Amino acid sequence: MDSSKGQTRKKRRNTLVWKGVALAIMVAVCVGGLFAWSMWGKDQEQKQNMPVYLKSGISIERVEAYDGPFWEDGTDRAVEDVWQLTVLNTSDQDIQYLKIVAKDENGSSLGEFEITTLIAGSTVQVLEASAVQMPGNAQSCTYSIENLAYLKQERSLHTDKFTLSVADQWIRLENNSSENIENDIYIYYKRIEDNVLQGGITYRVKFAGGLEAGESREEQTQHFDPDTCEIMYLTYQ
């Protein structure tokens, strides 16, 4: 009898142990499921925050960290985890200068993004002006336009007066008109990849003193590459 009772108690203990294990597994599965759902919901919520619509047809399509050359100051130095915005100009006006600021919930400025030559309908990937790394709350920041200026004149290469050609880092300009151009001539260009402008910066090359009628000249540039750059416009007045 004593042996039989001992075996019965042992079976009951084993049953309780297995029930406890099963309960622990169920709890772990439930908690894991809730955690996964919570993370999925958080990710969905962040995605729903984009795009951020600002005034004047400007929207922020994406916020992310960037690794690569730092375009904004012209140094092209290597950076990591820099705050990057993808900005779209949905208006029908070409923008000469645009400054977007990011602030936290307390109104403190966390980042500034400066964009030049954002033409109508175009998209640009712009880095934080001081190469600030993307903060953890970048998605929840308040983004607003601090400065906005449009190009005063329509963009043009003035093909009635000039013929422009490019090769490697050289830009060649010829005055094909019958008049002397005495003012400095500037050609403005930007980097571009897959139809997206790279960097808020706009580069320019200067033809000092203008060009006489029929004269042609070449100027070497530091950043121009016909495969990765697009000439935006030319000024001479």
Last residue of a domain, one of 10, 29, 48: 48
Question: Is residue 157 one of the residues assigned to a domain?
Answer: no
**Residue 73: which CATH number?**
2.60.40
User: From the centroid of its chain, how far is CA 99?
Assistant: 13
* pLDDT in the model for residue 108: 95
- Do 87 and 5 fall into the same domain? no
* pLDDT in the model for residue 223: 94
| Element at 83 (helix H, strand E) | strand 78-89
Whole-number Å distance between alpha carbons of 62 and 124: 11
Strand partners, 83: 65
Residue-by-residue DSSP string for 101-144? EEE-TTS-EEEEEEEEEE-TT-EEEEE-TT-PBPPTTGGGSEEE
From the list 124, 104, 107, the residue with the least C-alpha distance to 116 is 124
User: From the centroid of its chain, how far is CA 64?
Assistant: 8
* pLDDT in the model for residue 26: 44
- Do 118 and 85 fall into the same domain? yes
* pLDDT in the model for residue 41: 35
* pLDDT in the model for residue 154: 95
Question: Is residue 156 one of the residues assigned to a domain?
Answer: no
* pLDDT in the model for residue 25: 40
User: Could you list the pLDDT tens digit for every one of the 237 residues in the chain?
Assistant: 444 444 444 455 454 444 454 444 443 434 444 333 333 333 333 343 789 999 999 999 999 999 999 999 999 999 999 999 999 999 999 999 999 999 999 999 999 999 999 999 999 999 999 999 999 999 999 999 999 999 999 999 999 999 999 998 999 999 999 999 999 999 999 999 999 999 999 999 999 999 999 999 999 998 999 999 999 999 998
- Do 60 and 144 fall into the same domain? yes
Instruction: Measure CA of the first residue to CA of the last residue in the chain; give whole Å.
Output: 113
Which domain does 195 fall in, by range? 162-235
* pLDDT in the model for residue 113: 99
* pLDDT in the model for residue 49: 72
- Do 9 and 93 fall into the same domain? no
* pLDDT in the model for residue 45: 35
- Do 44 and 75 fall into the same domain? no
Q: Identify whether the C-beta of residue 175 lies closer than 8 Å to the C-beta of residue 162.
A: yes
* pLDDT in the model for residue 29: 39
Number of domains in the chain: 3
pLDDT (tens digit per residue) in 2-59: 444 444 444 554 544 444 544 444 434 344 443 333 333 333 333 437 899 999 999 9
Last residue of a domain, one of 128, 150, 172: 150
- Do 76 and 133 fall into the same domain? yes
* pLDDT in the model for residue 173: 98
3-state secondary structure of 227: coil
